[in-house]
Structure 1
């Protein structure tokens, strides 16, 4: 994809985002909000482990003493599994073609696997909060996938993105990559046999194909937004009746 096509496509996509008030960094807002909250609970529970004697016998099953690590490693593994399930479930189907969100998803998968060795020495009380929070996230994730629940909450339906559209996505923040020169036959004096100002047919075809892909992508997004607006308007009219 040549730099000119990249710039043109990013400009069109940026105009589309601005028109409908969309920010590509919106998915990061949840992480910025949840991070401080999680750390607050973490340090609060850690402080309780040291200062609340009743936690030594306040557990159940194999984790009766909540102030010590889980020697069976069941709670660290359960935390990792529930976190990974939450990541896989709560990534919106209609956004899976987004390169940035796909990168975030892959990073979360790695983070889920790293949870076990990094948390195996935490006291069991922390896992009681962590596993419960993950199960709650799974619960509302399943609920929001139900059409009846989304209709009751007046939320738009999540429309799966066609595979063809996913293949033509590009990163809005990625810098244009330089186009490699295309070798062309030369004459005896090093000149092109077709003339000095003649462009390579291969490069021209590649540029046209890139422009067509970007245009199709923008058109697809415009149609998708229009469809979501139409459905939201129809739901509003039905509720007024």
Structure 2
């Protein structure tokens, strides 16, 4: 019995040793691929770290201008915002009481999340967690956008519309060819048809 236990323990140690060296070699190979193809993941996320602070600062600036009370120049801008709205939000210093912009903001953000999620055939656990977190944040943005000045909600909605447009336009084969974006094996010649089919299959197909 004692010899069998030692043999089992030795086998476990051997498996751990092989796993450790496998992961070490895998990291080395991946690092070499990053250097060879100049495609480190940080470069792909660099734009986010630039956009996010910019989005926050512009939002704070719009809030301060909309709620200005002391600074004479800021008051002048706030007065212009109070009469510079259109359609259902004539006063951009007040929240959107109709909830049209907040709800549109939430729907567009959710649509962007689903478009990105449908591009992958199978998500990892981490990617699923991130996707659910972004979905929750998109829903949370609806009541937040309903309580801030319309100038902020309009900026958020415009930013989300631009993001949706980018996600759709960068799928177009003609635009990718015009911008000289290399074609990958996973790219489709009919991306919009495939996207609509995947969307319908995921949410409207009968199981």
Alignment TM-score > 0.5, same fold: yes
Q: Which moved more, 1:8-17 or 1:35-44?
A: 8-17
Aligned CA distance change for structure 1 residues 3 and 158 (closer, same or farther; 3 Å): farther
Contiguous gaps of at least 5 residues in structure 1:
162-241
Shift in Å at residue 72 of structure 1? 1.6
Q: Which of 150, 159, 162 in structure 2 is aligned with 1:136?
A: 162
Deviations along 1:160-208, whole A, 9 cap, x unmatched?
A: 49xxxxxxxxxxxxxxxxxxxxxxxxxxxxxxxxxxxxxxxxxxxxxxx
Residues 83, 92 of structure 2: 8 Å contact kept: yes
Return the TM-score normalized by structure 2: 0.66
CA contact (8 A) 1:95 1:101 kept: no
Displacement of 1:95 in angstroms is: 8.1
How big is each residue's C-alpha offset from its partner over 1:86-124, in whole Å with a ceiling of 9 and x where there is no partner? 222245825853443333222111110111223321010
How far apart, CA to CA, are the structure 2 residues paired with 1:98 and 1:33? Answer: 26
Offset at residue 78 of structure 1 (A): 1.1
Match of 1:117 in 2: 143
Matched, 1:84 2:84: no
RMSD over aligned CA atoms reads 2.7
Runs of 5+ unmatched residues, structure 2: 1-14, 69-74, 188-207
Q: 1:105 to 1:31 in 2, by over 3 A?
A: farther
SS at match of 1:64: coil
> Is the Cα contact below 8 Å between 1:94 and 1:158 reproduced in 2?
no
Q: Any idea what the Cα deviations from partners look like across 1:199-231, whole Å, max 9, x if unmatched?
A: xxxxxxxxxxxxxxxxxxxxxxxxxxxxxxxxx
CA distance in structure 2 between the aligned counterparts of 1:107 and 1:27, rounded to whole angstroms: 20
| 1:14 corresponds to | 27
Q: TM-score, normalised on structure 1?
A: 0.57
The structure whose RCO (Cα within 8 Å, separation 6+) is larger is: 1
Query: Distance between the aligned counterparts of 1:7 and 1:27, measured in 2?
Result: 28
**1:38 to 1:134, Cα distance in 2 relative to 1, 3 A:** same
Q: 1:185 maps to which residue?
A: none
Instruction: Tell me the equivalent position of 2:53.
Output: 36
Figure out how many residues of one structure are paired with residues of the other and give that number: 160
The structure in which a higher percent of residues are helix is 2
